[in-house]
Chain A
Amino acid sequence: MDAIRDESPWKRLEFRDPKRAQVLCQTLRRVCDQVGRPVSVMHVCGTHEQSIARFGLRSLLPPNLNVFMGPGCPVCVTDMPEVDEAVALALRGVTVATFGDMFRVPGSVLSLAEAKAQGADVRVVYSPWDALRLAQSTDREVVFFATGFETTAVATAAVILSHPPPNFSVLSAHKYIPPVMEIIAEMPDTRVQGFLAAGHAATITGWKIFERFVERHRIPVVVGGFEPLDILAALVRLVELIRDGDLRVVNAYPRCVTPEGNRQAQRLLWEVFETVGGTWRGIAHIPNGNLRIRAKYAGVDARRRYDIDVSDLLKGAPPRLTQECICGDIMAGIASPYDCRLFGKECTPQNPVGACMVSSEGTCKIWYEYGGHVVVEDLEARS
């Protein structure tokens, strides 16, 4: 492993293996030239975007290659009514356990953080297991506000299957990624010619699940890891597939992803959850995009246990700047944070308007921290 050069003036270009990065960039440029027209590809993973932004990858990409982030931030796509359900429960005396990012996401009226400031018992947890342990340590009713994609839903499923105490239940706002790729591919404004799929999610699902998508939409998919070198390597494969009109799924992350994935985790997931249609915040209704607890586990389903009434909460809801928030367009890949009037002004990490500015995986938060396009000098110049 190459040593990191601390004295490097271009802090972001700290590849473990600068030579390999250079070769990949050159190959990518060559392959893009061979395509001969602009190429647009979408990824759906907050960690991919962090890596791209942190390492200034967009400045290394050939000018005719556009890589943008779709709805890959689970917190960002959790719809306001779902937040309202959690807030309503908290305000009526239930202890609500939530992930840190979700804590500050605005609902229609309040975020969970604001509800807590008003006296509600809201606790930040890092794992569904934490929420379970919380329920085991108290007589209070505890609801775990379960957000995240299928990778996280596996953990929630495991907790539900571990014979939780009677005071524990789950409000599921989990989402399932594969259906949203279909919706994005079908949107009239979409110019997506290829998808870069998230490596760790595919550790669970395997890569074969993307085959049906490729067949139906005639768009190639490459599964990639999130390290900058992995991203570059995956992009090379993806542009090659686009160049050749080669419609298939390629696994560019074999050290973590297999064809069938983790069958044990899948078993747990589908034992507890089923897919159901739902609205992804700012985007659209996604058929089969939400994960709901099956009737068999009604006892731990907060929606069945409590008659959640948000009407009192919504009475007299103050107007929010949400009209001008374009998180939806950003997540659908048809706008960038720089297109948003509120970005960096009324909407900042300290005062977020939209969910994209709250979560560490939100495009706006990431661009606010790292910048969207970092201008760095050629790799050649520094080697």
Chain B
Amino acid sequence: MCLGVPGKVVEVNGLVAVVDFWGTRRKVRLETVDQPVQPGDYVLVHVGFAIRRIPEEEIEETLAFYDFVVRSAENDLMSGDVRGEIDAARED
């Protein structure tokens, strides 16, 4: 997958963040992101690791398409990959 998925940071404990992806909360590693991250920030996540802190002015635009893919409830390759990225972040 060459896909990152955006989520909202809810909690940060050292190098691990709890991130909310459309209501699903997962743990995401932060050692791969190049800016400090705090609750309320949005991060782009790939295979359970944050690869970018999304600047405020870009959040809405970034979320809009994923919103569409997630909510369109199609069970296809693209939504499968988006769900796969959310599932790649850990539950525990």
Contacts and interface: CB of A to CB of B under 8 A. Distances in A.
B1 A127 contact: no
B32 A268 contact: yes
B10 interface: no
Given A126-B87, A265-B34, A226 B48 contact: no
A299 to B, nearest CB: 20
A54 B78 contact: yes
A151 B46 contact: yes
A262 B48 contact: no
Contacts of B90: 127, 129-130, 133
Given A130-B48, A130-B90, A158 B32 contact: yes
Contacts of A263: 34
Contacts of A149: 2
A128 interface: yes
A269 to B, nearest CB: 9
A370 interface: yes
A227 interface: yes
A357 interface: no
Contacts of A193: none
B34 A262 contact: yes
A117 interface: no
B51 interface: yes
Interface string A174-212: 000000000000000000000000101101100000000
Interface residues of B, number: 35
Contact of B88 (A45, A127, A158): A127
B70 interface: no
Interface in A131-152: 133, 148-149, 151-152
Interface string A154-171: 110010011000000000
Contacts of A47: 1-3, 78, 81
A315 interface: no
Given A16-B65, A100-B84, A262-B32, A198 B2 contact: yes
B47 A155 contact: yes
A319 B11 CA distance: 54
Contacts of B78: 47, 50-51, 54
Interface stretch (A79-87, A241-249, A272-280, A359-367): A359-367
A330 to B, nearest CB: 17
A265 B2 contact: no
B83 to A, nearest CB: 10
A128 B32 CA distance: 13
Contacts of B77: 50, 54, 360, 365-366, 369-370
B38 interface: no
Interface string B48-70: 11011011001001101100100
Contacts of B58: 255-256
B69 to A, nearest CB: 9
Given A50-B77, A51-B78, A265-B32, A129 B2 contact: no
A126 B51 contact: no
A148 to B, nearest CB: 7
A1 B80 CA distance: 23
Contact of B51 (A45, A129, A198, A200): A200
Given A127-B88, A158-B29, A203 B1 contact: no
Interface string B29-52: 101111000000000101111011
Interface string A34-48: 000000000001110
B3 A155 contact: no
Interface of A: 1, 4, 14, 16, 45-47, 50-51, 54, 72, 74, 100, 126-130, 133, 148-149, 151-152, 154-155, 158, 161-162, 198, 200-201, 203-204, 226-227, 255-256, 262-265, 268, 360-361, 365-366, 369-370
Q: Which 10 A-B pairs have the closest CB atoms?
A: A126-B88, A127-B48, A255-B58, A264-B34, A227-B65, A127-B88, A127-B47, A155-B49, A50-B78, A360-B77
20 contacts: A46-B2, A47-B81, A128-B48, A129-B48, A130-B90, A148-B47, A151-B4, A151-B46, A152-B46, A155-B29, A158-B32, A161-B31, A227-B65, A262-B34, A263-B34, A264-B32, A265-B33, A268-B32, A360-B84, A361-B2
